[in-house]
Structure 1
Amino acid sequence: MGSRAHAEGDRWSDIDLTFAVADTTKPVAVLDEWAEKLRTQFDGTALFDLAADPITYRVFLLPGALQVDVSVTPTSQFAARGDTFRLLFGEVNDPIAAAPRDNTDAFGHAVHHAVRARVCIERGRALQAEYWISSLRNETLTLASRRAGVQDWHARGAHLLPAETRERFAEALVRSLDPAELSRALTVAIDLLLDESDHAPALAARVENHLRTLTGTPH
């Protein structure tokens, strides 16, 4: 699975391997065996585990900045959960379509991030303000990607967005920690979010004036 499942990838592509294991097997025990092999044979370093029921992932870093993700799933639940899956051997259950994250939830998180960004600017916490502005921009990028029909997970399809859209998101980047610049970037990011209000019309209608107030332009 991963970028090499249906394409050649490039020198920066990571490697994703997933295995079915007996339902009674402890996933961590299997991943520990992989960790030892990758460490001794390839000088690999385990970075972290991620549990996404029923799948357990372990992420490794190998020399040359090669990322290798190894995951295990109980056999009874082993199935493709996306279009970057290719079965190499064995059997697999019917594909499972993962439910996309709710648009209203994403919009609500973005509103929260906008509020926190303004609070941090007013308190003189520039680095924290930048963090929240970036978080706001990223949530909005998810919504914009869905509108365009490209992959929204971790901005994987952002490069496929229309040039005008990409340029507008670039304008929301924070260029310095000066309070005026932070406020400018926040205003652009909020405008971008409001452009995506049809993803969550009821919520957007209730919070639009609050968001405008954060930019100094209440309606």
Structure 2
Amino acid sequence: MFTPGQRDRTRARLLAHAEADDSITGFAYTGSHATGTGDRWSDTDVVLAVRGDVAEAVGRWTAWIHDEFDARHHWDLDVGGTGVIRVFLLPGWVELDLTFAPEPEFGARGPAWQTHFGTPHEQPPFPPPDRNTLIGYAWHHALHARICLERGRSWQAAHWINALRDQLIALACLRLGLPTAYSKGAHLLPDEVTTPLESTLIRSLTEPELRRALTATITATAAELDLSDPQLAVRLSPMLTELT
């Protein structure tokens, strides 16, 4: 695994390369590095303001990163919009997330932003997830977990049970004003939310165990529904109970 020094040297070389590139008019850190909350394991999140052809800049920077850092792989994170988020894996498991933004889209969408050069433009904040959609995914995943159990598809049932737990965690984080994406706020949830979730973990792929885990997950989901949307819980909780 990488050392903090290795990661910091990578950041310094990225900044120097951006300063020397006439097509890059802005450079900012996002994520934990921008807020001073990063730790030994934090990755590197950078936003570049691109003047001109974004695709050309992405191709040129990708070639340079592979040559300069011996990158082992890269892929694009699809988040919509006209910019590109390209994620690189460097030796030592250094992760580099580079956002190439057209100049008008260079700016903070949340509190995690630190400009090194360039002029940020005001951007709309990232919207929180829609509560109704999270609830919809929850009952959808519960239903499909039960159907997979009836079909004898243990691995697929396990997938849906775990996915249901993810929606439950997101709902609780949304209700309490915590980060919702990738369970980033899960460690901040109170014990009364997380302790019941321990029983939702699947210990084996036997049918009795999967049914036990599904029942525990649905029970926890119904409890969260009572807090997140009590009126909807009156309609959905009895139907969820039918799946246990």
TM-score by length of 2: 0.82
CA contact (8 A) 1:108 1:203 kept: no
Separation of aligned partners in 2, 1:78 and 1:69: 15
| Structure 1 equivalent of residue 18 of structure 2 | none
What is the count of residue pairs matched by the alignment?
A: 213
Match of 2:76 among 44, 49, 59: 49
For structure 2, list consecutive stretches of 5 or more residues without a partner in the other structure. 1-29
Alignment CA distance shift 1:29-1:203 (3 Å): farther
CA contact (8 A) 1:137 1:189 kept: yes
For structure 1, list consecutive stretches of 5 or more residues without a partner in the other structure. none
| Structure 2 equivalent of residue 19 of structure 1 | 48
Q: CA deviation at 1:186?
A: 0.9
Identity %: 38
Match of 1:109 among 130, 137, 145: 137
CA contact (8 A) 1:35 1:44 kept: no
| Structure 2 equivalent of residue 213 of structure 1 | 242
CA contact (8 A) 1:104 1:203 kept: no
Q: Secondary structure at the match of 1:11?
A: coil
CA contact (8 A) 2:202 2:213 kept: yes
CA contact (8 A) 2:141 2:163 kept: yes
CA RMSD of aligned residues (A): 1.7
Q: Which runs of 4+ in 1 moved over 6 A?
A: none
CA contact (8 A) 1:104 1:200 kept: no
TM-score by length of 1: 0.90
The AA in structure 2 aligned to 1:86 is Q
The AA in structure 1 aligned to 2:97 is D
The AA in structure 2 aligned to 1:204 is A
Q: CA deviation at 1:165?
A: 2.1
CA contact (8 A) 2:105 2:123 kept: no
| Structure 1 equivalent of residue 55 of structure 2 | 28
Separation of aligned partners in 2, 1:14 and 1:119: 39
Separation of aligned partners in 2, 1:165 and 1:206: 22
1:134 paired with 2:169, answer no
| Structure 1 equivalent of residue 201 of structure 2 | 173
